[in-house]
Structure 1
Amino acid sequence: MRTIRIIEHISLDGVIQAPGGPEEDPESGFSHGGWAFPHFDEEVGKAIGLAHPDGSDLLLGRRTYDIFAAHWPGQTDAMADNLNNARKYVATSRPDSLMWGPADGLGANIVERLREIKAGIGPDLIVWGSSTLTPVLIASGLADELVLLVFPVLLGKGKRLFSGTAAATELQLIRSKAAPSGVIISTYKPAGPVRTGSF
């Protein structure tokens, strides 16, 4: 059984759009691209390294795949080697255009295909960004871990992690750490439906 781990850079108000650079994703006039960079420190880098071990495969939405494909082939560090060599599983209706490989489209029934992949033998499957795919993974019970790197910024607008599409789900906190830069790194596992009560 393979582990599906979601890693998200997220602002305090839930925005995940374009954390890595100004040109990463300017859709809808988003003008704060690169908001995560000023708060990136050694502890954040260590947390990412632990969450994304060498040899992992990637599981990506199409937009995130395209963003990564435009950036990582031109980089030469250890993370670039990790990502460039990884097998990429991509939610897309255009599998023939997956030039950054090795890459496989997930087909029309994403959940069914991912259940097959997850049941097989292989390395961890790492999800970055992919705000459309992430709620599907959690709602279908496919996500094993959610690693949130919460940055001390408020962005006001931009693509949000769930945008009202997630099923009502509880999460169990596995570990949490504050980096010197103010980034809170928390790892969660899905813990079933939301419970309710009264005070």
Structure 2
Amino acid sequence: MRKIRIMEHMSLDGVIESPGGKEDGDFKYAGWSMQYVDKVIGDGIVAAHGTGYDLLLGRRTYDGFAAYWPKAESGAIADGFNAATKYVATHRPESLEWGPAKDLGTDIIAGVRALKAQDGPELIIWGSPSITSLLLEQGLVDEVVLIVYPVLLGNGKRFFSDNVDASELALADTKAGESGAMINTYKYVGALSKAKN
């Protein structure tokens, strides 16, 4: 059975939109995370990917990545992203040119359940807030890695959705960079238990 890991660059107020730069879109603060990626954070992000994985992406994230990563300088992240099979939630499977790539089918949850049941490398999700919300809602996520930056952006696409059921996660690891950014790794526990009096 494959594990599913969500990884997100996130501001303190939960915004995940365009952390890397203009290649991510027209967000007013595009590139907001880059000044905080020091050696500890950079090495931690590489380590959090592991040695072999596939990507699980929404169509907009796939398109943004496809415009950038095939042309990026060789390195652990670029090489890993380019080699990974990309499983994409899309209504246009014929246009998945950055490969290897496969669509998840018309029922995203059924497609992800089938992938998770297979043997194979772990599945990593970057961006794709509509998919992350669905998978959290369905209890299909094993781990959440949040790279949290000391910024408040005020608006933008957010990681958290009002549709997600209350859940409990256990902190498995944390790393702090000199920049004030932190990498927090959480294991999914299950539904939130009621507080004890």
Shift of 1:198: 6.9
2:176/2:182 contact within 8 Å kept: yes
For structure 2, the residue ranges without an aligned partner over 5 or more in a row are none
> Partners of 1:183 and 1:189 in 2: how far apart?
20
2:41/2:176 contact within 8 Å kept: no
Match for residue 136 of structure 1?
134
Q: Percent identity?
A: 53
Indicate the SS of the match to 1:126: strand
Structural mapping, 1:12-161, within 5 Å: 12-26=12-26, 30-78=27-75, 79-161=77-159
Shift of 1:141: 1.6
Shift of 1:101: 0.6
1:150/1:184 contact within 8 Å kept: yes
1:150-199 CA-to-partner distances (Å, cap 9, x unmatched) read 00000000000023222211111111121111111111112222233377
> Partners of 1:9 and 1:47 in 2: how far apart?
12
> Partners of 2:23 and 2:87 in 1: how far apart?
24
Most deviating of 145-154 and 130-139: 130-139
> Partners of 2:132 and 2:170 in 1: how far apart?
17
Match for residue 195 of structure 2?
197
TM-score (norm 2): 0.95
TM-score (norm 1): 0.94
> Partners of 2:2 and 2:81 in 1: how far apart?
18
Match for residue 8 of structure 1?
8
Indicate the SS of the match to 1:132: helix
Match for residue 178 of structure 1?
176
1:22/1:31 contact within 8 Å kept: no
Indicate the SS of the match to 1:162: coil
1:172/1:191 contact within 8 Å kept: yes
Shift of 1:64: 0.5
> Partners of 1:16 and 1:190 in 2: how far apart?
20
Shift of 1:83: 0.8
For structure 1, the residue ranges without an aligned partner over 5 or more in a row are none
Residue 126 of structure 1 aligns with an amino acid whose one-letter code is I
> Partners of 1:192 and 1:55 in 2: how far apart?
26
Residue 3 of structure 2 aligns with an amino acid whose one-letter code is T
Shift of 1:3: 1.2
Q: Deviation above 6 Å: which 4+ runs of structure 1?
A: none
